[in-house]
């Protein structure tokens, strides 16, 4: 069955440090992949998406993600974290509307 | 620029009561979705619609009904609420399937 796994429930990084959030997927073919961010009390906002082509995808707010087929991964990265990046991050993937799956989320805390 | 609006934002129900959650979008999107978000489980699709007058079951449809009488509105109904339906409910819309989804701010429902 298709699934999306985010192994890290909670990550803490210092402001200015680099960030990598992990996402692994299990799917029969290459799925469409997404990263969303959710601030407290808000809905989800799309950071970036991968459909095909270049495996390094640029998104908003300085985020990027790399699709690695051999590792079934789509990790999110940012070179220098800002305090405003503290939020919950969700990876999602699937091939159709009905088989889109979300990971459980990774909560990011940013230390001053 | 409203985007996706959900009402109400908070609600407490007694077991067995019924209620309807309203979702409205002003982006002329064809696709609309209802998700529930539970701790440690990410978002799960309840029902979705691919256009006015259509509805389809998602991953967790039991106990819920939906209607899409107008393109801009997508209603989620609970006929007889159960404590297991305590959750945060998100509505979303997209131009097409498996593209960027735009989310509302959520409805926090507690069933006691």
pLDDT in tens for each of the 112 residues of chain B?
679 999 999 999 999 999 999 999 999 999 999 999 998 888 999 999 999 999 999 999 999 999 999 999 999 999 999 999 999 999 999 998 888 899 999 999 999 9
Q: Do A44 and B45 touch (CB under 8 A)?
A: no
pLDDT tens per residue, range A73-85: 999 999 999 999 9
Task: Tell me the C-alpha distance between A112 and A87, whole Å.
Answer: 15
- List CB contacts of A66: < 8 A, sequence separation 6 or more: A55, A56, A57, A73, A74, A75, A77
Pairing of β B107-111 and β B10-13: parallel
DSSP bridge partners of A26: A3
Smallest Cβ–Cβ distance between B42 and the set A41, A97, A105 belongs to: A105
Q: Which whole number is the average pLDDT over A76-105?
A: 94
Q: Given CB atoms, is B48 within the 8 Å cutoff of chain A?
A: yes
Determine if residue A9 is left, alpha or beta; phi over 0 gives left, psi from -120 to 50 gives alpha, anything else beta. Answer: alpha
Residues 73-102 in B contacting A (C-alpha not used; CB under 8 Å): 90, 92, 97-98, 100-102
pLDDT in tens, B32-41: 999 999 988 8
Which residue of chain A has the CA closest to B38? A104
Yes or no, beta carbons of A104 and B41 under 8 Å apart? yes
B43 touches chain A (CB under 8 A): yes
């Amino acid at each position: 069955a298709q699934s999306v796994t985010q192994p890290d429930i909670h990550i803490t990084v210092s402001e200015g440090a680099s960030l990598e959030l992990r996402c692994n997927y299990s799917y029969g073919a290459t799925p469409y992949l997404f990263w969303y961010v959710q601030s407290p009390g808000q809905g989800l906002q799309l950071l970036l998406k991968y459909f095909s082509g270049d495996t390094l995808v640029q998104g908003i707010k300085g985020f990027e993600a790399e699709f690695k087929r051999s590792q079934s991964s789509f990790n999110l990265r940012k070179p220098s974290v800002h305090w405003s990046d503290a939020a919950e991050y969700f990876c999602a993937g699937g091939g159709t509307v009905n088989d889109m799956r979300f990971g459980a989320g990774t909560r990011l805390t940013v230390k001053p | 620029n409203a985007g996706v609006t959900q009402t109400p934002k908070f609600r407490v129900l007694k077991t067995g009561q019924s209620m309807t959650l309203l979702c409205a979008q002003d982006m002329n999107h064809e696709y609309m979705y209802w998700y529930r978000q539970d701790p440690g489980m990410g978002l799960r699709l309840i029902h979705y619609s691919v256009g006015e007058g259509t509805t389809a079951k998602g991953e967790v449809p039991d106990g819920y009904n939906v209607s899409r009488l107008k393109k801009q509105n997508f209603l989620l109904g609970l006929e007889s609420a159960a404590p297991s339906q305590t959750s945060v409910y998100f509505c979303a819309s997209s131009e097409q399937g498996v593209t960027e989804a735009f989310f509302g701010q959520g409805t926090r429902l507690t069933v006691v």
